[in-house]
Amino acid sequence: MATMSLRTAPMRVAQIPKPGADFQMIDRALPHPGRGEVRIKVQACGVCHSDVLTKEGQWPGIQYPRVPGHEIAGIIDEVGEGVSEWKNGQRAGVGWHGGQDNTCPSCRRGDFRNCRHLKIPGISYDGGYAQYMVAPVEALAPIPETLSDVEAAPLLCAGITTYNALRHSGACRAT
Give the closest residue to 52 by CA, choosing from 43, 42, 62: 62
Please report how close the Cβ of residue 36 comes to Zn ion at its closest, in angstroms: 15
The nearer residue to Zn ion, 33 or 128, going by C-beta atoms, is 128
From first CA to last CA, the distance across the chain in angstroms is 71
The nearer residue to Zn ion, 7 or 49, going by C-beta atoms, is 49
* Residues 16/110, Cβ–Cβ less than 8 Å: no
CA distance readout (Å), 155 to 11, 76, 106, 172: 25, 19, 24, 16
147 lies in the binding site for Zn ion (CB under 5 A): no
Site for Zn ion in 17-36 (CB under 5 A): none
152 lies in the binding site for Zn ion (CB under 5 A): no
* Site stretch for Zn ion (CB under 5 A), options 46-54, 58-66, 135-143, 163-171: 46-54
* Site stretch for Zn ion (CB under 5 A), options 47-55, 60-68, 80-88, 123-131: 47-55
Q: How many CB atoms lie within 10 A of CB 93?
A: 24
- Taking each continuous run of H as one helix and of E as one strand, the counts in the chain are 4, 7
**Half-sphere exposure for 14 (CA within 13 Å, toward CB):** 12
The nearer residue to Zn ion, 26 or 104, going by C-beta atoms, is 104
What is the total count of residues that contact Zn ion (CB under 5 A)?
A: 8
The nearer residue to Zn ion, 100 or 124, going by C-beta atoms, is 100
44 lies in the binding site for Zn ion (CB under 5 A): no
Site for Zn ion in 49-108 (CB under 5 A): 50, 100-101, 104, 107
**For the residues of 103-129, what is the DSSP string, one character each?**
-SHHHHTT-GGG-TT---BTTTB--SS
The nearer residue to Zn ion, 79 or 157, going by C-beta atoms, is 157
* Residues 51/18, Cβ–Cβ less than 8 Å: no
13 lies in the binding site for Zn ion (CB under 5 A): no
| Residue ranges binding Zn ion (CB under 5 A) | 48, 50, 100-101, 104, 107, 115, 157
